[in-house]
Amino acid sequence: MALVVQKYGGTSVGTVERIRNVARRVAKTYDEGNDVVVIVSAMAGETNRLVALTREICEFPNEREYDVVVSTGEQVTIGLLAMCLQSMGYAAKSYLGSQIPVRTDAVHAKARIDSIDDARVRHDLDAGSIIIVAGFQGIDPDGNITTLGRGGSDTSAVAMAAALKADVCEIYTDVDGVYTTDPRIVDNASKIEKISYDEMLEMASLGAKVLQIRSVEFAKKYGVVIHVRSSFNDHQGTLVTKEDADMETVLVSGIAYNKDEAKISVLGVPDKPGIASQLFTPLAHANITVDMIIQNVSSDGITDMTFTVPKGDYRKALQIVGESAREIGAAEVRSDEAISKISIIGVGMRSHSGVASKMFQVLAQEGVNIQMISTSEIKVSCIIDAKYTELAVRVLHEAFGLGAEDVQQE
Amino acid sequence: MALVVQKYGGTSVGTVERIRNVARRVAKTYDEGNDVVVIVSAMAGETNRLVALTREICEFPNEREYDVVVSTGEQVTIGLLAMCLQSMGYAAKSYLGSQIPVRTDAVHAKARIDSIDDARVRHDLDAGSIIIVAGFQGIDPDGNITTLGRGGSDTSAVAMAAALKADVCEIYTDVDGVYTTDPRIVDNASKIEKISYDEMLEMASLGAKVLQIRSVEFAKKYGVVIHVRSSFNDHQGTLVTKEDADMETVLVSGIAYNKDEAKISVLGVPDKPGIASQLFTPLAHANITVDMIIQNVSSDGITDMTFTVPKGDYRKALQIVGESAREIGAAEVRSDEAISKISIIGVGMRSHSGVASKMFQVLAQEGVNIQMISTSEIKVSCIIDAKYTELAVRVLHEAFGLGAEDVQQE
Q: Give per-residue pLDDT as tens, B3-26.
A: 999 999 999 999 999 999 999 999
pLDDT (0 to 100) of residue A406? 54
Say if residue A325's pLDDT is above 50: yes
B173 has binding-site annotation = yes
The residue of chain A with its CA nearest to that of B49 is A76
Mean pLDDT for A135-148 is 96
HSE-up (13 A, CA, CB side) for residue B358: 17
Q: Taking CB atoms and an 8 Å limit, are A72 and B68 in contact across chains?
A: no
Q: Give the range among A27-41, A149-163, B289-303, B368-382 with minimum mean pLDDT.
A: B289-303
pLDDT (0 to 100) of residue B409? 44
Return the number of other C-beta atoms located less than 10 Å from residue B406's C-beta: 14
Say if residue A213's pLDDT is above 90: no
**Is B273 an 8 Å CB contact of chain A?**
no
The more confident residue out of A205 and B343 is: B343
Q: Chain-wide mean pLDDT for chain B?
A: 92
B47 has binding-site annotation = yes
B89 has binding-site annotation = no
CA distance A150 to A29: 28
pLDDT (0 to 100) of residue A366? 94
The residue of chain B with its CA nearest to that of A82 is B65
Q: Are B105 and B64 in contact (CB under 8 A)?
A: no
CA angle B309, B311, B314 (to 5 degrees): 70
Q: Chain-wide mean pLDDT for chain A?
A: 92
pLDDT (0 to 100) of residue A377? 87
**Is B61 an 8 Å CB contact of chain A?**
yes
Say if residue B206's pLDDT is above 70: no
- Output helix, strand, coil percentages for chain A, rounded to the nearest 5: 40, 25, 35
Split at pLDDT 50, 70, 90, the class of B261 is: very high
Residues 82-111 of B with CB under 8 A from A: 82-84, 86-87, 93-94, 96, 98-99
Structural domains in chain B, CATH included, are: 3-174 (3.40.1160.10), 263-336 (3.30.2130.10), 339-399 (3.30.2130.10)
Residue B26: list chain A partners with CB under 8 A: none
Mutate to test the interface with A, among B26, B54, B70, B83 (most CBs of A within 10 A): B83
Split at pLDDT 50, 70, 90, the class of A207 is: low
How distant is the Cα of A322 from the closest Cα of chain B, in angstroms? 34
The residue of chain B with its CA nearest to that of A62 is B83
A28 has binding-site annotation = no
**Is B66 an 8 Å CB contact of chain A?**
yes
B184 has binding-site annotation = yes
Q: Taking CB atoms and an 8 Å limit, are B98 and A98 in contact across chains?
A: yes
Say if residue A223's pLDDT is above 60: yes
Q: Give the range among A378-387, A396-405, B389-398 with minimum mean pLDDT.
A: A396-405
Residue A61: list chain B partners with CB under 8 A: 83, 87
CA distance A376 to A344: 11
Q: Taking CB atoms and an 8 Å limit, are A72 and B75 in contact across chains?
A: yes
Q: Are A41 and A10 in contact (CB under 8 A)?
A: yes
What is the percent of chain A with per-residue pLDDT over 70, rounded to a whole number?
Answer: 97
pTM value > 0.90: no
CA distance B378 to A317: 77
Q: Which amino acid is at B385?
A: D
